[in-house]
Structure 1
Amino acid sequence: MAASFFFSIIHHVKRPPRSRPRQVLTERDVLQLVGIRPPSGLHASLVSAADRDAGAAEKLRLIDDAFADAKSRHPKTASLDAKLSDYKRDLEEQLRAEMRQRLEYLRETEIARVKMEERRRREEAELTRRADAFEL
C-alpha cells in the first residue's frame, strides 16, 4: 500500500515544458527524494513491490501483444462479427413475430370473451323480459 502511495507521487511530479527534454524519475529516485535509504526495510519492501508490479505489467503487455498478433493472423473475426449480427437480427425478427402472434391471440380471446359476455347479458335480459311478461 505504501508502494502505491509513493508511486502515485511519480504521476504528480510537475512535468517540464515540452521544449525541454523530459527527465523521467524512477521509483528508486522518488524513494531517495522522499528520504528512504537503501538499507531500510521499508526501502527493500517498496523496491520489491515495484519490481513485482513491473513484472506483472510486462506479463500483461506480452499477453496483449500475443492477442493482437493472434487476432491479426485470424481475419475470421470480421465474418464472426457479421454472423453474430445476422443472428441477432434473426432473433429480433423471431421475437417480433412471436409478440405479434401473442397479441393476435390475446385480441381474439378478448373479443370472444366480450361477445360471450354480451350474449349472456342479452339472454339474461330476454329471460327477465319473458319472466316479467309471464307474470302479467
Structure 2
Amino acid sequence: MVGQERFEPMMDVLRALAEPTRLRLVWALSTREYSVGELAELVGANVAAVSQHLARLREAGMVDSRRDGTRIFYRAATPHLADLLDQLVVVGGHVSGELDLPRPATPAAPAAVAAARRTAPSRSRPAGSRPRTAET
C-alpha cells in the first residue's frame, strides 16, 4: 500500500491551484515571465494580494522568481507546469463539454490535447449557459 506521505507533494500542487486567482497566475506564468505589477493588472488584483498568492505558489514549488533592480519577475518553476495545465484543459473539457481554453502565446498543444479536442464527445450545454473560461 502506498503511504499518504507520497501523495503530499501532489496535494500541495492541487491545493495551490484550487484558488481561482492562483490558477489564473499559473496560467499566465506558463507562457512567459511577468513582474508582480503586470500580474496584478492581468488578474485585476492589488499588488499585495498577488504577492501573497505568488508566495503560496513559490512554497508549493510552482513558481520561481528573479530580481532585476527593484522589480521582481516570476516564471513557472518547471516546463511541466504547462503540461499539467494542458491536461487540466482536457479533463475539465470532458467534464464541462468545453474543450477550447488556449493559453496566450502557447506553443502548439501536445498531441494528447489535440487528439482529445478532435475525439471528445460533443455535449450540449443547457440553454442560456455560457462556456466556462479561466475567468469563470
TM-score relative to the length of structure 1: 0.25
Larger radius of gyration: 1
Higher relative contact order (CA 8 A, sep 6+): 2
Structure that is richer in strand per residue: 2
TM-score relative to the length of structure 2: 0.25
Structure that is richer in helix per residue: 1
